[in-house]
Amino acid sequence: MKIQELPARAYLAHLRRHPVPELMDEECLAALANVEAQFGDTITHGAGLEVRLGNPARFVDYIMCVDQDYVPGIKCIWYEIDYADYLRGGEISPCLFINTSDYKEEKADEPEHTAAEDDNVQRQEKPFVPPMGKKFWDSVLPPFAGEKRASRLRGQLDRVLAALPPNATIKQIGTMSPRGELDILRLVVIFHQWETIFAWLRDVGWPGDTGAMEQALLPWKEAQGFAVNIDLSESGLLEKTGLEVFGRWRHPLLVDKFIERLEEAGLCLPSKGAALRRWIRILPDGDPFIQTLVTYFKLNYAKGRVTEAKAYLEQSPYIHHHYFPHYERPVRLDMELTDGTAVLPEETALARIRECGENRVRGIRFFGGETYEPLERLLKACVAAGLRAEVVLGRPRAQEQESAALQIEHSWLAALVAAGVDSFLIDLESETDEYALHILAALKELEAANVRARWYMHRDNAGKLAAVAKAAEESGAVELLVTGMKLSAAKNVGTVFPSREQISAAAEFVKDHNGYNESAEGSQESASQETDQNQDTQSAAQPVGMQIAVESCFSPLRAYLDGPDPKYNANRGIERGCEAGRSFMALGADGRFAPCLHWKSGETLQRELQSDRGDSDNTENLVEYWEHAPALQALRENGETRQHCAGCCYERRCLPCQACEEGVTGCPLSN
């Protein structure tokens, strides 16, 4: 899993951009400044809100996940900051939680078990204790809970752990000292079988009526996972308890249904239900990635009834689901400076750069800069606006080959590097493309960082992949980006898509070359910082030498690389293929916005996209265009309803180029 390091103030800023007044009134929102004052610069791996759904008061407890170094084997600790604490001002003392599954046992730290635990191990197919044996509690509990509390509670803890049923696990432990609970430890225990919850509570002497508790919670039994929150004291478990339900993300419509049930049960105010429904539909930020979700609900129980429902809202730096059509803002703007006819005025380019900086666009990719005198100034403006800048260079037009090669001078490239360019993307037509190889050699000499080569594959050159990869690697490129099956530069018009056999051979070559499980996320090409929790295992492999990536436009090859089983195919959501209008948009040299620069050249297609809407695109304002342009909306919708892909095993993991006249009708992988 890629770890995204954002300071807490980034999550607070996100919250202020998406206020939920039904959950947080102005006083509550303003009081978060006290959290920011103390923790604003703290690196945070996700933040959240605890919401009391049945309580008309509009305040929340604030939650954040931060690095820590005082509990061995555990990287992060969760702070839960009570509203009263951050409202008061002054120093904040959070309640503390750790996820036991985060524990990484040191190699020498072989698990040892108490007799009771060993007995428990024998009764389980998969013991719950491997990461939580005696050594786990010995090393984690005293620094986390304090020596005194740890020694007072240890006997009771061993007793209740030993009685846990097979497959039950401790999810979290917590301390709530700021609430005066000094000799108490919160246990959050996951059960996979409903009945075992109450049997365990009975066995360990929980002081409540387990039959009454089971009756009261029975309506929520169909939830997929259950985690009991219970407090442990020196004399055993305390009566106060709650049940976490719905602890796995599902489709927003299913979350809606759960909220509706809570409303019907009188556990959630309609206004708060409406706010939750809005919260789970906020479009994610692309880079840095932030997604909003409800992580789980908790039902508090006392004396025969559910007394309260709480929702745990999260701002997560990791992708939990792909049910969104585009990012809230484009991650990248492709800016065309010249197109052979039009030239983008410098003041227009600078104004758009400023606009990108003000609207959280992450970077700009410049095209047609070879003969554009102000490019250096644009790069400096990107640095000033905090934007990443990439310059794309390639042989402009056949008739200009010779003179164009002469124009790219070492000193010009050096000036771009000095002006702050972040990366170069060099279009390499073949392994003998002198124009591109000349640029690559000059950049190598300049020791420019992040130099990539891109190669367009079609039926007549598909056999050259190995030779192109060798030439790119020898020229110092850190990545070769293979593209194809899209509307491309004029020189590729008339080329034919590769055959199924050629795609298969290219996929084999890419896998062999990379020497590890190639994935879209490994490429710098991916416009966002996507992190999918399901791909944890891939993060261990470190690429060596130049890597080959497949551009998202060449979606069929990307899909083919990961195989036909959608479960194991990592191409998901808006990044499974064409990203036009989903994670980026373009500005042509004529000053007009477009979904991508290749849509600009396919004007008939762009008109077709708009015709159903009877509207013309706004070119005054980047955000207006991104949110409302009929062309973008049509593109997003059409991508989900394409006919020709029906029945293809890659349908859910592929999004081909819609700007391409042949479209998917010419896809060699179609049935």
Footprint of ligand SF4 on this chain (CB under 6 A)? Answer: 486-487, 553, 555-556, 559, 578-580, 596, 598-599, 645, 648, 650-651, 654, 656-659, 664, 667, 669-670
Residue 312 Cβ vs ligand SF4, minimum distance, rounded to whole Å: 37
Residue with tokens 């003000």: 358
Residue 563 Cβ vs ligand SF4, minimum distance, rounded to whole Å: 12
Q: Which is nearer to ligand SF4, 94 or 556 (CB)?
A: 556
DSSP string, 319-360: B-----SS-SS-SEEEEESB-SS-B--HHHHHHHHHHHHHTT
Q: Which is nearer to ligand SF4, 26 or 661 (CB)?
A: 661
Q: Give the pair of three-digit tokens for residue 325.
A: 């059509």
Residue 324 Cβ vs ligand SF4, minimum distance, rounded to whole Å: 18
Report the C-alpha gap between 453 and 394 in whole angstroms: 10
Neighbours of 457 (CB within 10 A): 25
Neighbours of 79 (CB within 10 A): 23
Residue 581 Cβ vs ligand SF4, minimum distance, rounded to whole Å: 8
* Cross-strand partners of 289: 286
Q: Which is nearer to ligand SF4, 165 or 498 (CB)?
A: 498
Residue 6 Cβ vs ligand SF4, minimum distance, rounded to whole Å: 28
Q: Which is nearer to ligand SF4, 395 or 486 (CB)?
A: 486
Q: Which is nearer to ligand SF4, 96 or 557 (CB)?
A: 557
Residue 465 Cβ vs ligand SF4, minimum distance, rounded to whole Å: 19
Residue with tokens 């000036």: 415
Q: Which is nearer to ligand SF4, 316 or 555 (CB)?
A: 555
Q: Which is nearer to ligand SF4, 549 or 580 (CB)?
A: 580
Report the C-alpha gap between 428 and 467 in whole angstroms: 12
Report the C-alpha gap between 289 and 274 in whole angstroms: 25
Residue 654 Cβ vs ligand SF4, minimum distance, rounded to whole Å: 3
Structural contact between residues 478 and 452, judged by C-beta atoms closer than 8 angstroms = yes
Q: Which is nearer to ligand SF4, 507 or 645 (CB)?
A: 645
DSSP string, 207-223: SS-HHHHHHHHGGGTTS
Residue 660 Cβ vs ligand SF4, minimum distance, rounded to whole Å: 6
Q: Which is nearer to ligand SF4, 399 or 671 (CB)?
A: 671
Residue with tokens 């929702």: 311
Q: Which is nearer to ligand SF4, 481 or 596 (CB)?
A: 596
Q: Which is nearer to ligand SF4, 77 or 487 (CB)?
A: 487
Q: Give the pair of three-digit tokens for residue 194.
A: 């409903």
Phi/psi at 141 (nearest 5 deg)? Answer: -65, -50
Which segments of 209-288 are extended strands (E)? 226-233, 236-245, 285-286
Residue 335 Cβ vs ligand SF4, minimum distance, rounded to whole Å: 15
Residue 447 Cβ vs ligand SF4, minimum distance, rounded to whole Å: 31
Q: Which is nearer to ligand SF4, 410 or 458 (CB)?
A: 458
Q: Which long-range contacts (CB under 8 A, 24 or more apart) does 442-449 make?
A: 442/408, 442/410, 442/413, 443/413, 443/476, 444/475, 444/476, 445/410, 446/410, 446/413, 446/414, 446/417, 448/413, 448/417, 448/421, 448/424, 449/422, 449/423
Residue 667 Cβ vs ligand SF4, minimum distance, rounded to whole Å: 3
Residue 643 Cβ vs ligand SF4, minimum distance, rounded to whole Å: 10
Structural contact between residues 289 and 529, judged by C-beta atoms closer than 8 angstroms = yes
Q: Which is nearer to ligand SF4, 301 or 327 (CB)?
A: 327
The candidate with the shortest Cα–Cα distance to 360, out of 293, 423, 288, 283, is 288
Residue 390 Cβ vs ligand SF4, minimum distance, rounded to whole Å: 15
Which segments of 407-551 are extended strands (E)? 423-427, 451-456, 479-483, 547-550
Q: Which is nearer to ligand SF4, 290 or 578 (CB)?
A: 578
CA dihedral (495, 499, 502, 503) positive or negative = positive
Helix and strand totals (H; E) in the chain: 22, 21
Residue 485 Cβ vs ligand SF4, minimum distance, rounded to whole Å: 8
Structural contact between residues 617 and 593, judged by C-beta atoms closer than 8 angstroms = yes
Residues 6 or more apart in contact with residue 122 via CB below 8 angstroms: none
Report the C-alpha gap between 311 and 50 in whole angstroms: 6
Residue 355 Cβ vs ligand SF4, minimum distance, rounded to whole Å: 21
Residues 6 or more apart in contact with residue 432 via CB below 8 angstroms: 471
Structural contact between residues 580 and 574, judged by C-beta atoms closer than 8 angstroms = no
Q: Which is nearer to ligand SF4, 131 or 556 (CB)?
A: 556
Query: Going by DSSP bridges, is the β-strand pair 423-427/451-456 parallel, antiparallel, or unpaired?
Result: parallel
Report the C-alpha gap between 77 and 318 in whole angstroms: 17
